[in-house]
Amino acid sequence: MSLVDEVIAELDAERERIWLVLPEDVRDLGNGIIPRLTGPKKQYFTSLLYAEGEARTLADEILWGFIEVSHDPETDLGTLKKLVTQIVDYKADFFDFVGLPLTCRWIHRYAEGARAAETLEEFAAVTGAALSYTNRVHMWIQSVFPWGIASAFPRADAKQTA
């Protein structure tokens, strides 16, 4: 089995493991337990806010975009791999910074698999596994996010801003 196939299998297994069970690091973040103690003024709301945004942009923009671009046979695989190193590894480290060390490890594992891809098809396959995993993590982050706090910030209606 190639490294790409191993990473796909591992990401798929982890996604299945967390499908109905809140991941430990997301649970901890939702309870204000942050290993690196990030968050100004001893609060964790901003860490949770950043985690939500980072998961959304990684899944909906970056990984999805990589898959779309990898379907074009003129795409240069080497360039995609460089983007993974530059963008995805940074995102992974940021997950650790905001309190999601397990998510960080899985995203770095994806990056290993992506860099091992020998074809655009392999790159798309491993990226698809990462997208599926990241989408699930994102949904879990949304489930622990204190959406009710938003009611403290009502928006003005259009007539008030015109």
Please name the residues in contact with 24: beta carbons below 8 A apart, sequence gap of 6 or more. Answer: 102
| pLDDT tens digits along 35-68 | 999 888 999 999 999 999 999 999 999 999 999 9
What is the per-residue pLDDT across 132-160, written as a single tens digit (0 to 9) for each? 999 999 999 999 999 999 899 888 887 76
* pLDDT over 80 at 161, yes or no: no
Q: What is the pLDDT of residue 103?
A: 98
CB distance 144 to 48 below 8 Å: yes
In DSSP notation, 102-142 reads HHHHHHHHHHHHHHH--SHHHHHHHHHHHHHHHHHHHHHHH
For residue 80, the surrounding DSSP H or E stretch is helix 77-83
pLDDT value of position 162:
58
Lowest mean pLDDT among 3-7, 39-43, 100-104, 125-129: 39-43
